[in-house]
Amino acid sequence: MRRASLLLGLMAIAVIGIPGCNPAAPAGLKIGLVTDVGQLNDKSFNQNSWAGAQDGATKVGGTAASAVSAVSADIARNIQSFVDQHYDIIVTVGFAAGNDTAKAAKANPNIKFIGVDQSFICLTATGDPDPTFTCPGDPKTLLPNYEGIGWHEEQPGYLAGIVAASLSESGVIAAVGGTYSVPAVPNYIVGYANGAKSINPDIQVVVQYVSPNPDAAAFADQAGGKAFAQQLLAANPTVDVIFQVAGLTGNGVLQAACEAQIWGIGVDVDQHESFPDAAACTVVSAEKKLAKNVSDAIQSVKNGTFKAGGVKLDISTDDVGLSGYHEHSTLISADTQAKIDAAVAAMKSGTLAACELNAFAACVTGPNGALP
Average pLDDT of span 312-317? 94
Are 251 and 47 in contact, with CB atoms under 8 Å apart?
Answer: no
Kindly list the domain boundaries of the chain, sorted by start residue: 30-151, 154-287+333-363
The yes-or-no answer to whether 30-151 and 154-287+333-363 have a common fold is yes
Average pLDDT of span 16-42? 69
> What confidence score (pLDDT) does residue 181 get?
87
> What confidence score (pLDDT) does residue 328 get?
98
- 144 or 4, greater pLDDT: 144
> What confidence score (pLDDT) does residue 243 get?
98
Query: Does residue 5 have a pLDDT over 60?
Result: no
Q: What letters, b where the CB count within 10 A reaches 16 and e where it falls short, cover 126-148?
A: ebebbeeeeeebebeebbebbbb
> What confidence score (pLDDT) does residue 14 get?
35
Average pLDDT of span 208-214? 93
Q: How confident is the model at residue 362 (pLDDT cuts 50, 70, 90)?
A: very low
- 4 or 348, greater pLDDT: 348
Average pLDDT of span 56-73? 96
Q: How confident is the model at residue 356 (pLDDT cuts 50, 70, 90)?
A: low
Residue (of 110, 178, 147, 177) closest to 313 by Cα position: 147
> What confidence score (pLDDT) does residue 27 get?
63
Average pLDDT of span 321-334? 98
pTM of the predicted protein model: 0.83
Are 94 and 37 in contact, with CB atoms under 8 Å apart?
Answer: yes
- At the topology level of CATH, where does 154-287+333-363 sit? Rossmann fold (3.40.50)
> How far apart (Å, rounded) are the C-alpha atoms in residues 77 and 79?
5
> How far apart (Å, rounded) are the C-alpha atoms in residues 243 and 232?
12
Q: Kindly report the average pLDDT of the chain as a whole number.
A: 89
In 22-145 the beta strands, taken as DSSP E runs, fall at 30-37, 63-69, 89-93, 112-116
Give the DSSP letter string of 182-237: STHHHHHHHHHHHHHHHH-TT-EEEEEEEESSSSHHHHS-HHHHHHHHHHHHHH-T
Structure confidence by residue, pLDDT tens digits, 127-172: 999 999 999 999 999 999 999 999 999 999 999 999 999 999 999 9
> What confidence score (pLDDT) does residue 12 get?
37
Average pLDDT of span 59-68? 97
Spacing of C-alpha 131 from chain mean position: 24
Query: Does residue 357 have a pLDDT over 80?
Result: no
Q: What is the CATH number of domain 30-151?
A: 3.40.50.2300
Average pLDDT of span 103-114? 98
